[in-house]
Structure 1
């Protein structure tokens, strides 16, 4: 995902013509009915009261302010990649492509501070750790800690990642900061202890193709998205033992085993990580999407920890979808049939004594493995050409994943049922919607309202608010047998001069903000 800069001479600053579309929302309780009920002494809220109020409020959202500084060519900050409100909702911090960090007063929507060179490259993510301290992550692979009361210099610069930092999370239970980057690593930082030059940190997870990482609000689950079209849930999260528990687990190999319906012994030995009875760092994959997803580029968690909202691209990068997956704990019975057996793992190291000729033949089959073709450099330089054709000798070498050594055999002798067993994934998708495929190469960050009823999604040069059903009810009241399309409540088209890539709800008030690639920041609130 590139973060290419912009030339001021090529950026269009023309003002768009806004278009706002509001869906027809059925209101089961009207204001006169509420007033009549109250006058008769019935103070209890009637059924549907809260849904009607929420639907009315969210359908009334409209733009109320545009940062005037974003109109000035000498204050061009590039794309607005991320937002974060303070815990009390009074401050907004924006991460900019042009290395800046902007701080706003959310009450009057005025910019109060600019950190001109917060990082050496694009600022990607921001996270408030408490009311006065926030952390920023950048393409310069650094994480910086800032005190809102003294912004002329950062409190601390943290070194550890080797590529673009894309997520910063805070685990209240373990009191550690958790970060992820495009180097495939997840680090846990103990901000209370430090070495001579830096904070103590530990690499707790490693995955090639890691895109995004989020923690649930209670810190009990970690969600990870990938460039291979699947998500990982780590249930019963224990950061202190995560690195030890998953020290040699290879999620991509296990995913390959699922899709190819072949088994690799080195992967099946980790079936115990998927056991629903496991009480610490239990693994589960999510792979049901409305499309052939490839890159799951953005991720947000429902404020109650009920669901994960993600946005993905297909392999051709010509389709974008937003999907909602239920991530709550499931009954152990749901997992009883979620596996398959293959016959591809039987090899010459089979410890069962063959009872007939067919079994004897199977004993001497080559083990299922991944193989790599190679040519020695000296052979490549001395290729022989005869009659216009090139003869090239190839060799093969085992990938080392076969797991035919004594430790694997010992494991399968003690766990014979695991040898050919491949765990399958439960269906967890509840809602979905297709998005506009614009702004190629840039990640679009979705947002969820504090009450969990509404999703805000970047939509070309505007945004749209999406609900789980046409009545704007909570997700818990929209239980479905099959996945259903999200219901657009409001579409605010052409509210920006360029493609919108970020949005965020205020955690305390009915307030929303969005940012585009053209530096523009828009504020929204109900206009009744």
Structure 2
């Protein structure tokens, strides 16, 4: 089953053995492995302490015509001042989208299954493992258990195309490279490239993994496709030189118990989650280098604290300061070597003395945080956790281990559908989280106003707020996705049905 755990992690307790030996074992090569042929800056969150108060009533003037002239002039000045204060003076310090948070909050809070698009029938194609919108929101692709990929028009809910036998096994993940090209990966160990303009056949098939391929990422700067699988390998594919026979590739990284791999929006970091509870972060990422075991510098970081004292202004400000430097010097030469590896064991509420498995991994659309779905090794509890990136110059590892993440928000999930991975997602603006929740989805926010993470960073770890729960499936929901352009949400379940949600007016 595509959503199962990796076959080489049979004993959960064995994977949690303590000591340095466990970390070394994490990066141990296996004999069956095949050989392949501006840092995110957190904008400085400044709030206006005061706003110019503009009276709608003009100051009194003298009698007669001069009085009316002055009164009209004062009204114009008041209106001009109000517009000036609302736009120009606030300028670079406030994202204009924040002015509309009340409207967006109402829209997302009223999300309901669309009457004409609930349960788009895909039950003959097996479970829905992944959903992906095209960047312009015009196409919704569905990765199915039974070797097929479905394409829908999300606005009209019209079925466009079925890619019959897109692969020879379960289709696990879909990734758009642009508005027309997309890639799919499968348990048949291959990756396929497709063109929306010609869906009768694949553009090409890529061979290089030795086991199930679970993840696809894309670096828009170098145009490198990045894939990961249960063989523990992360492979890069040079799409600049692809032909009908494939494209050049090389093994970039290897680790055992690999579950998910993601790139930050600016492609300056790579995050890898494992079934043994580790989270790996490659800093100052350079995908053009091939990392062999022992050739990368390991920053052995301690477990981050569950609760953090003090305000977060310092960390956000530090992030902005270093983020500005990274625009001029994207990799901050001299502060840390390229592809420095940090090994973290994120602490999960309620799991201080027990192991856990990081099953789902997503990143904030602005690169501020990472979103994890974790389950206990006994598979009897699940959590959704948000970790803020702690930016700044890394200290020297021998003196003070680097720790780049801070747990800011969490919530316990419904323990339904044991053994299956539930894929979460952020809304395009990063204000909401959609979490598969039993037979439906749950919209979660950082505060009651659906504020941005940068504006509602708690001093201590806080609970995520539930905005709305919608139950429209007859089986366990496995995946969810926000549209990048429309106020729309899609979810897919184990029985093979897709539901679309939109605001209810």
Regarding TM over 0.5, the answer is yes
Is residue 118 from structure 1 mapped to residue 156 from structure 2 by the alignment?
Answer: no
Is residue 450 from structure 1 mapped to residue 428 from structure 2 by the alignment?
Answer: yes
In the alignment, which residue of structure 2 is the partner of 1:283?
Answer: 341
- CA shift at 1:276, angstroms? 9.4
In the alignment, which residue of structure 2 is the partner of 1:8?
Answer: none
Separation in 2, partners of 1:187, 1:450: 28
Q: Is the 8 A contact 2:133 2:484 kept in 1?
A: yes
In the alignment, which residue of structure 1 is the partner of 2:366?
Answer: 304
TM score, norm. by length of structure 2: 0.72
444, 466, 469: which one aligns with 1:491: 469
Deviation by residue 1:443-468 (Cα, 9 ceiling, x = unmatched): 10001100000000000000010001
- CA shift at 1:510, angstroms? 0.8
* SS of residue in 2 equivalent to 1:241: coil
List aligned pairs for 1:311-350, cutoff 5 A: 311-332=373-394, 335=395
Is residue 469 from structure 1 mapped to residue 447 from structure 2 by the alignment?
Answer: yes
Q: Is the 8 A contact 1:67 1:520 kept in 2?
A: no
Q: Is the 8 A contact 1:100 1:117 kept in 2?
A: yes
Q: Which runs of 5+ in 2 are unaligned?
A: 5-55, 58-74, 305-332
In the alignment, which residue of structure 2 is the partner of 1:166?
Answer: 214
- Seen in structure 2, the aligned counterparts of structure 1 residues 276 and 182 have a Cα distance that, compared at 3 Å, is farther
TM score, norm. by length of structure 1: 0.69
- Seen in structure 2, the aligned counterparts of structure 1 residues 61 and 258 have a Cα distance that, compared at 3 Å, is closer
125, 128, 140: which one aligns with 1:77: 125
- Seen in structure 2, the aligned counterparts of structure 1 residues 153 and 427 have a Cα distance that, compared at 3 Å, is closer
In the alignment, which residue of structure 2 is the partner of 1:459?
Answer: 437
- CA shift at 1:258, angstroms? 8.3
Is residue 501 from structure 1 mapped to residue 464 from structure 2 by the alignment?
Answer: no
Deviation by residue 1:466-524 (Cα, 9 ceiling, x = unmatched): 0011111000001222211110100113x101000001011111111001011111111
Point out the structure with max Rg over C-alpha: 1
- CA shift at 1:54, angstroms? 2.4
Q: Is the 8 A contact 1:211 1:224 kept in 2?
A: yes
Is residue 433 from structure 1 mapped to residue 481 from structure 2 by the alignment?
Answer: no
Separation in 1, partners of 2:276, 2:297: 13
Separation in 1, partners of 2:251, 2:177: 20
Separation in 2, partners of 1:325, 1:208: 23
Separation in 1, partners of 2:198, 2:294: 40
- CA shift at 1:192, angstroms? 2.1
List aligned pairs for 1:121-270, cutoff 5 A: 121-194=169-242, 197-243=245-291, 247-248=294-295
Q: Is the 8 A contact 1:66 1:522 kept in 2?
A: no
In the alignment, which residue of structure 2 is the partner of 1:51?
Answer: 101
Q: Is the 8 A contact 1:276 1:282 kept in 2?
A: no
- CA shift at 1:52, angstroms? 1.9
- Seen in structure 2, the aligned counterparts of structure 1 residues 501 and 199 have a Cα distance that, compared at 3 Å, is same
- CA shift at 1:250, angstroms? 9.5
- CA shift at 1:330, angstroms? 2.9
Separation in 1, partners of 2:406, 2:340: 17
Q: Is the 8 A contact 1:124 1:136 kept in 2?
A: yes
- CA shift at 1:285, angstroms? 3.1
- CA shift at 1:291, angstroms? 3.9
Is residue 522 from structure 1 mapped to residue 505 from structure 2 by the alignment?
Answer: no
- Seen in structure 2, the aligned counterparts of structure 1 residues 63 and 302 have a Cα distance that, compared at 3 Å, is same
Separation in 2, partners of 1:306, 1:215: 13
Deviation by residue 1:125-165 (Cα, 9 ceiling, x = unmatched): 00011111110001111100111122121110100011111
Mean alpha-carbon deviation: is it higher for 282-291 or for 76-85?
A: 282-291
Q: How large is the RMSD of aligned CA atoms in angstroms?
A: 3.0
